[in-house]
Chain A
Amino acid sequence: MTTQNVKFLAGNEACVEGALAAGCRFFAGYPISPSSEIAEKMSGRLPKLGGKFIQMEDEIASMGAIIGASLAGAKAMTATSGPGFSLMQENIGYAMMAEIPCVVVNVMRGGPSTGNPTGPSQSDVMQSRWGTHGDHPAIVLTPNSISEVFEATVHCFNFAEKMRTVTFLAMDEIVAHMREKIVIPAKDDIKLVERKRPHLQPGETFKPFAPDADLIPPWMNYGEGARYHVTGLDHDATGFPSGAADNQETLHRRLLDKIELHKDELTLFEEHRLEDADVLVVAYGSTSRSAKRAVEEARAKGVKAGLFRPITLYPIAEKQIECAASKAKKIVVPEMNLGQYRLEVERIVGRSVPVVGVHRVNGEPIAPSLILSAILGD
């Protein structure tokens, strides 16, 4: 380790470093608080690496541009916040349907509508999961430290390239703007995943949507001689539109099943003092830092509290949450929204354990004392 790899970065800056380390060489975006620093940094850094930055006319176009760039062979990313994320949903659905790898960073701010552009929030949990229309998969990561922003951004690219889909990095504004020390890993220590290539027999035509046993179709870039068709319509393995009932059913189920099949490697989490916990706290993003403190304070008072922290919000760590909940008498879910992830926890644990939400939408972080009260309270 050399000192030049030690930096003092904000989350948005660490995200840029992670993206570049992951091989991102195309960024399209539109200014929006509190994500704009990502576009600003990218506009400065990318051309120095021979990469491309383009400022688009809106977030709809930004999302379209990264899909186009990905088809032409680039690892591509955009960054936005709530209102822009809403605008992107149409083409996000396209990336899911046409299985185009790309990364969308969403620095969450208060909503709905213009909401609170500069305050912290975790109010896009459900928009990340269900933002675009139709049944669809979602891979959503939410880091809680600057080092983890870097790592999670690399994961987002790796998951996108491997799974052939769009992935989301959902940061709350605190993580995006706070500064911490980070040791940027050496290039050789960063594991990168590249899109899977086909193994064609001589004379065999490339079928861009014919999956292997892992349910993921191999990939060829535009310009590499395959001359295939891509559409957002229901399509068959060749990529051409097909309205056949069995074909539609197969396609839509596969899009979900390919994520389900790889769930274990996609689902990242941290467990803290869960071994004997009878009060389980489920918290993510910056809120998990308050939650960890509250757990320690509860322990100091003799209450056996523990923390389960999803780093991957989706696909959801159902097995792990179920297991931790089976030993708990109470579950506390603090989050900077009015109960979006609490709904998921309640769905997983059912009525067997009471679930207490600690929810704030006032643009302020959730203090450890609030979580501690919920841990200690009846």
Chain B
Amino acid sequence: MSMDYFQYLRKDRMPHIWCPGCGHGTIMKSLLRALDKLKWPQDDVVVVSGIGCSSRTPGYLDFNTLHTTHGRALAFAQGVKVANPKLKVIVISGDGDAMAIGGNHFIHACRRNMDMTLIVFNNNIYGMTGGQASPTTFTGSKGTTAPYGAIEQPFDVCNMAQASGATFVARALDLDAVAMDRIILAGLQNKGFSVVDAWSQCTTYFGRQNKWGDASDMMDRYKGMTYNVRTADKMTEEEKADKYPLGVLFQATRPEWCEEYDKLIARVGGGEKAP
């Protein structure tokens, strides 16, 4: 595990903006450990994000980095990938960014199955704007815009991804960094669109408003709300009810967008001279 994180970090951009107890840094380090295993040249990696606490991550990373508009990271990222498929594209988004304002881009990116990995830093709240309810806020949980508890049903990021056509779908908790490493690595290795629903705790806004305690209390609670998909067949339906499975939940092989487009170019004789 001994690796030099600063090889991939922009030291001069520290300290980061994240609060004490936030899980975002844990996920970021998992990503770096996965990238360290892959040894992709840093010049070939593009990290794209939207707006929010999670979306500040690219600024700390020593790659080609693109901090876009709220919810639109996937749109920018697909432009990058199509224009230069040699680039390795990683998208970092939050639950509000990916599932609310970026929801339409999310489902269509899954459908296209372009070779890139989306990591949703999912903390069930809008942290940067001060703790408003998000599309993954649990029913009954409080946010500053849901002072009496959310009455809506949350999105399940993984179900959405699978239904929309992503070819790698997984969920991990920041509590279990070893699993997070493994899952992010597998997502990056998938030739197609990968979605990792990476759970992180927002102690400052979610924890405080919902009286869920500090970071370790929240991690414990998330552990209780989830189960490992590998042990799912030993559990009763009752035990699994209302809980979220962890691990690699779905994998499929489908044509990848850029490869299909290259075939199209070859088929129509894409060597014609420019006018």
Contact = CB atoms under 8 A, between A and B. Distances in A.
Bound pair (A, B): yes
Interface of A: 17, 20-21, 23, 25-26, 28, 47-50, 52, 54, 56-58, 60-74, 76, 90-91, 94, 184, 187, 221-233, 240-241
A68 B62 contact: no
18 contacts: A49-B270, A50-B271, A56-B75, A56-B108, A57-B107, A57-B108, A64-B69, A65-B76, A69-B80, A72-B87, A90-B72, A94-B69, A184-B275, A228-B64, A229-B66, A230-B66, A232-B69, A241-B59
Given A56-B108, A72-B81, 7 more contacts: A48-B272, A57-B104, A65-B76, A68-B79, A72-B84, A91-B75, A229-B59
B265 interface: yes
Given A72-B87, A76-B79, A223-B44, A229 B58 contact: yes
Interface in B105-147: 105, 107-108
B83 A48 contact: no
B274 A187 contact: yes
A47 B72 contact: no
Given A48-B268, A48-B270, A231 B79 contact: no
B64 A227 contact: yes
B171 interface: no
A68 B76 contact: yes
A47 B75 contact: no
B83 A68 contact: yes
B65 A28 contact: no
B264 A230 contact: no
A52 B67 contact: no
B239 interface: no
Contact of A227 (B62, B72, B78, B271): B62
Given A91-B72, A222-B64, A64 B79 contact: yes
Nearest to B44: A223
Nearest to A18: B275
Contacts of B62: 227
Given A68-B75, A72-B83, A230-B67, A47 B275 contact: no
Interface residues of B, number: 44
A69 B59 contact: no
Contacts of B83: 25-26, 52, 68-70, 72-74, 76
Given A26-B82, A50-B271, A227 B63 contact: yes
A49 B272 contact: yes
Nearest to A231: B67
B202 interface: no
Contacts of B108: 56-57, 61
A240 B56 CA distance: 11
Contacts of A26: 79, 82-83
A47 B270 contact: yes
Contact of A223 (B67, B76, B79, B87): B87
Given A50-B265, A52-B261, A67-B76, A222 B84 contact: yes
A65 B78 contact: yes
B77 interface: yes
B75 to A, nearest CB: 3
Given A21-B275, A49-B270, A223-B44, A229 B67 contact: yes
A187 B65 CA distance: 36
B67 A222 contact: no
A126 to B, nearest CB: 22
A72 B269 contact: no
Contact of B105 (A21, A61, A221, A240): A61
A151 B68 CA distance: 32
A67 B43 CA distance: 19
B79 A222 contact: no
Contacts of A229: 58-59, 65-67
A37 to B, nearest CB: 18
Nearest first, the 5 closest Cβ-Cβ pairs linking A and B are: A68-B79, A64-B75, A65-B79, A69-B83, A72-B83
Given A47-B270, A64-B79, A58 B65 contact: no
B13 interface: yes
B72 A223 contact: no
Contacts of A65: 75-76, 78-79, 82
Contacts of A17: 275
A48 B269 contact: yes
Contact of A60 (B48, B67, B75, B264): B75
Contacts of A61: 72, 74-75, 78, 104-105, 108
A17 B63 CA distance: 36
Interface in B51-103: 58-59, 62-69, 72, 74-84, 86-87
Interface string B31-50: 00000000000111010100
Contacts of B105: 57, 60-61, 64
A217 B64 CA distance: 18
Contacts of A228: 64-65
Contacts of B86: 223
Contacts of A91: 68-69, 72, 75
Interface string B240-275: 000000000000000000000100110011111011
B85 to A, nearest CB: 9
Contacts of B77: 68
Contacts of B67: 229-233
A67 B76 CA distance: 6
Interface string B196-230: 00000000000000000000000000000000000
A94 B79 CA distance: 15
B113 to A, nearest CB: 13
Contact of B59 (A49, A71, A240): A240
- The CB with the most chain B CB atoms within 10 A, among A48, A52, A64, A227, is that of A64
A47 B261 contact: yes
Nearest to B105: A61
A94 B44 CA distance: 23
A223 B75 contact: no
